Each structure stands twice: as C-alpha cells, then as structure tokens.
C-alpha cells in the first residue's frame, strides 16, 4: 500500500469534505437516528418554534411602525445620551430612547 502525505490545507473545501466523508464511510460511520422519545421531543420543539414564528409574524404584521411618532427632539436626546454614555454607538442610544432607558 502506497502512503502519501497530503497537507489538508492544500485541499479545496469540497475535496476536504469528500476526503473526510470517504474516511468515515470506510470506517463504518453512518448517520444515526435517535430513539423515538428523542425524536418526539425534537419534533415538538420544532413545532413549538414554528407556531411561535407564525404568531410573531402575524402580530408584527398588525403593527405599523413606519408611522410611529418620532420625538421632535430626537437628535438632542441622542446627543445628550451620548454625552452621558460616550462608549455607546448612536443606534444603541436610539434603541435606549425607544425603550425608555435614556436616563
């Protein structure tokens, strides 16, 4: 049997994946499917997440934030916030103002 050294970083991503997959297959490694209880739990978790996503999208669609009133003195509020918190980015300052934490 001929052994040849190959630097892994000399391979393209596709070649490396093919190499690793072939070695796994050669050694009998295969995908597993967990026990029924684990599958059931995973399914319920994904179903819960999907339902939450649908509810959130529906509720967000009801909101029309494009017409939310913007404070007339927003620039002054941002400047004031940044004077008190100089390490904060301006968009973080706006977020704090929206969330009522601009004190």
Q: Encode the chain (103 residues) as per-residue pLDDT tens digits.
A: 677 777 878 889 999 999 999 999 999 998 889 999 999 999 999 999 999 999 999 998 888 777 888 999 999 999 999 999 999 999 999 999 999 876 6
In a domain, 19, yes or no: no
In a domain, 29, yes or no: no
Backbone φ/ψ region at 32: left (φ over 0), alpha (ψ -120 to 50), beta: beta
pLDDT at residue 103, as a whole number? 61
In a domain, 77, yes or no: yes
Residue partners of 39: CB distance under 8 A and separation at least 6:
33
In a domain, 97, yes or no: yes
In a domain, 83, yes or no: yes
């Amino acid at each position: 049997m001929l052994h040849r050294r190959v630097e892994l970083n000399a391979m393209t991503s596709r070649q490396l994946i093919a190499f690793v997959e072939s070695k796994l297959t050669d050694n009998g490694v295969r995908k597993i499917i967990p026990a029924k209880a684990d599958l059931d739990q995973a399914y319920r978790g994904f179903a819960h997440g999907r339902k939450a996503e649908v509810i959130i999208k529906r509720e967000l669609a009801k909101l029309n934030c494009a017409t939310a009133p913007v404070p007339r003195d927003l620039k002054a509020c941002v400047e004031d916030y940044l004077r008190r918190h100089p390490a904060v980015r301006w968009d973080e300052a706006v977020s704090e103002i929206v969330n009522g934490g601009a004190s």
